[in-house]
Chains A and B, each alone.
Chain A
Amino acid sequence: MEMEMEMEMETQKPFQVDVGNLLAFNPFHNFSSLPTSRDELVKECLEEGTKLIQAVADGLFNLPSTEDVDGPLVKLPPPATKLPREKHLPKPKPPTKWEEFAKKKGITKRKKDKVVWDEQTGTWKRRFGYDRVHDDKDIPIIEAKMTDEPGEDPFAKRQDDKKKRVEKQEKNRLQNLKQAAKLGALPSHVQLAATALPITGTQAPPKKVTKDELGNVAGMAATSTASGGKFDRKLPGEKPAKKQGKHRKFLPVVEGSGIGSREKEQTDNVLNKLISKHSHEILNIGKAVTMYNVKKEKKARNRKNQEGKSSSTSNKLKPKKQLHKKAAKKGPESSKKRKAK
């Protein structure tokens, strides 16, 4: 704080005046003897203060002034006394990847108009927004090119392409902001928030629990009590737990007979299964083939073992002769086996 405008007063001692702050400092005054009463002290202080303020006012009122509605307006000089800042200096924004590329290539920005001439309708349309110039939904025909695949929908492809472009742009924007945040120059209205913790190893990301699942949790916990949660005190608004397990349906006691009779249907189903009335539907061909193949492989393996081992042991480990017969009669036999099971 050293801007000294030397104002020589009667005392011939200079004050330090800072007009920018409307500040005046007299470093040479001292009370040789403290005044006895408070009033005198106050009076002396005010006198000294008046002198200083007069000095500032001299400087202030002599500045060039412009006439304003309320009164004369003066332009203050910048304050001479340096005081510490309250926040750090703002760091300049680092150039984005596109800006760096543009500088390298010498690409300059061009001013774009809000309305563009639309050839199709012959009017001036917005560049973006409602009823815009090159909207995807306004294209009536897309000509097929040699490079197009036959089964592809070009309109859907256009929409997908646009989506991909938008996602790429968002990703780039995020990367630019991350770079700026790293240098401490994030714009004041933007915040980067972490949405998920980093995934380590084979941990799956924490699943978000739905409202319904949360509602069932209390009920599930209640089943571990001795009485299955039947007598637990419930909170206000808590719904009773939904019944877990199979829901059995019982037929009504009195019901008319006829086409819609349910009991008749039930018994019919069971009987048909037993007699295999629709036997051609019952056979599972895939399963039959698999079983046959497995048996065949087993037989082949046993025969190999047989050749390697002695005859005495082979008596007990004779291959089953039935296999041959079963192999011949594949169809009905296997179905019979299924029924037996």
Chain B
Amino acid sequence: MSNNEQTLRFCSSAIMMRIKTPKNGRVRRELEKRAPKLVETGKKTLILQGTKTSGTLNGVLSEIYHLKKGGAVRFTRKNDNIRPFESGGEASLEFFSLKTDCSLFVYGSHSKKRPNNLVIGRMYDHHVYDLVEVGVENFKSIESFNYDKKMAPRVGSKPFIAFVGEGFENVDELKHLKEVLLDLLRGEVVENINLAGVDRAYVCTAISLNKVYLTHCALRLKKSGTVVPRMELVEVGPSMDLVVRRHRLPNEGLRKEAMRTAKDQPKKKIKNVSSDAIEGTIGKIYIPDQKVGDVALPNKAKGVKRERREAKKKEANERASKKQREESE
């Protein structure tokens, strides 16, 4: 009976709710892995394709998948309804991102107007954050390189990344591409790294105002006199030319929110303190107006002194007279 009463009470106020918790430890651990964390480690990448792809594009996508084997998901079917740069065409992408827990995606498509097109994008809270569209030219796959197989980089090792060129500093699109490539190419964010395990490097050079040459190399550490070994790069992996076509920067508000970290506290402005190059830190002290009439004078007034002297004399006389009386008695 009381159960019915309770349910009725809920009905009158709002929707009746039920608490759902996973009954499986495995499911619980998966959910906790996907929950937002204070400090984030690696981002997973979703690699998928559009209506039409070319041979080179297929090669590019599978090689990117190989490079990011540990943290990437590859979809092989064609997706007609994904158009990243259009307002309605992102719904499918966001759904996939939600289901696979991927916040980076690489979408390949091929058309006459945009041949060998790659759209690299990032997500914030499973909504599209920013996009960069590049065209792939002069693609050379892993198989076409000859190198000593023993030097091949192992899967999942943390790579060195090098950006060369003033274009990355001056041109807006290349700056954006640099940020996105950094996100894509760096692996997990780790605290400790084993020095014996560094064996790969990515080199991105800005060849012209909108072209970037990206290549993947294996590292050879050669003996040098000091602790630091001499680095030698040997091209192993895919190399391609990326031509920036379009890009979409994130909204300012969204960008501010995404860049926030836990340590960022709004800087408390210290008042009345400024720093000078020559003199160092300078402080300002404000003194209120002096009220001349109210200030207590340091020197006691002559009249006060006289009074005290006379009071002392009186006391002394009284004591003397007392003593005389006692003596007399």
Contacts and interface: CB of A to CB of B under 8 A. Distances in A.
Interface of A: 21-31, 34, 38, 41-42, 45-46, 48-50, 52-54, 56-58, 60-62, 65, 68, 70-76, 79, 81-90, 163-164, 167, 171, 173-174, 177-178, 188-199, 205
Contact of A27 (B12, B21, B168): B168
A26 B167 CA distance: 10
26 contacts: A22-B186, A22-B198, A23-B186, A25-B168, A30-B167, A41-B207, A45-B213, A48-B203, A49-B201, A52-B203, A53-B219, A54-B231, A61-B228, A72-B196, A75-B192, A83-B179, A84-B129, A85-B259, A86-B43, A87-B36, A90-B36, A90-B38, A177-B19, A192-B17, A194-B17, A198-B15
Given A53-B201, A61-B195, A73-B192, A48 B235 contact: no
B205 A28 contact: no
A56 B196 CA distance: 15
A58 to B, nearest CB: 5
A304 to B, nearest CB: 49
B2 interface: yes
B281 to A, nearest CB: 23
B192 A76 contact: yes
Contact of B217 (A46, A81, A199, A205): A46
Nearest to A22: B160
A70 B228 contact: no
A195 to B, nearest CB: 5
Contacts of A189: 21-22, 28, 31-32
Contacts of B20: 190-193
Given A22-B186, A90-B35, A84 B250 contact: yes
Contacts of B169: 27
Nearest to A163: B2
Contacts of A74: 192-193, 195
Nearest to A59: B228
Given A27-B166, A50-B232, A89-B36, A196 B196 contact: no
Interface stretch (B80-88, B120-128, B293-301): B120-128
B202 to A, nearest CB: 9
Nearest to A194: B15
B137 to A, nearest CB: 11
A88 B257 contact: yes
Nearest to A199: B11
B316 interface: no
B37 interface: yes
The listed residue with most A CB atoms (<10 A of its CB), out of B16, B38, B129, is B16
A71 B192 CA distance: 12
B121 to A, nearest CB: 12
A42 B215 contact: yes
Interface residues of B, number: 84
B156 to A, nearest CB: 14
A21 B164 contact: no
A183 B32 CA distance: 19
Contacts of B165: 26-27, 29-31
A42 B123 CA distance: 33
A89 B38 contact: yes
B18 A71 contact: no
B194 to A, nearest CB: 5
Given A87-B103, A194-B17, A195-B16, A167 B192 contact: no
Contacts, number: 227
Nearest to B256: A84
B31 to A, nearest CB: 5
A86 B17 contact: no
Given A48-B164, A84-B258, A195 B195 contact: no
A290 to B, nearest CB: 35
A83 B166 contact: no
Contact of B163 (A26, A71, A174): A26
A83 B169 CA distance: 17
A46 B161 contact: no
B155 interface: no
A45 B18 contact: no
A86 B103 CA distance: 6
Contact of A45 (B34, B138, B203, B261): B203
A57 to B, nearest CB: 6
Nearest to B97: A86
Contacts of B32: 188-189
Contact of A87 (B125, B197, B262): B125
B208 interface: yes
B6 interface: yes
B142 to A, nearest CB: 16
Nearest to A21: B186
A46 B213 CA distance: 11
Given A54-B230, A167-B3, A76 B16 contact: no
Contact of B158 (A22, A25, A52, A73): A22
B186 A60 contact: no
B124 A85 contact: yes
Contacts of B123: 86
A219 to B, nearest CB: 33
A30 B166 contact: yes
B237 to A, nearest CB: 13
B201 to A, nearest CB: 5
B149 to A, nearest CB: 20
A56 B227 CA distance: 13
Contacts of B3: 167
Given A23-B163, A163-B2, A195-B16, 13 more contacts: A23-B160, A23-B161, A24-B160, A30-B167, A31-B208, A46-B215, A52-B162, A52-B164, A84-B255, A87-B40, A88-B257, A90-B35, A191-B20
Contacts of B311: none
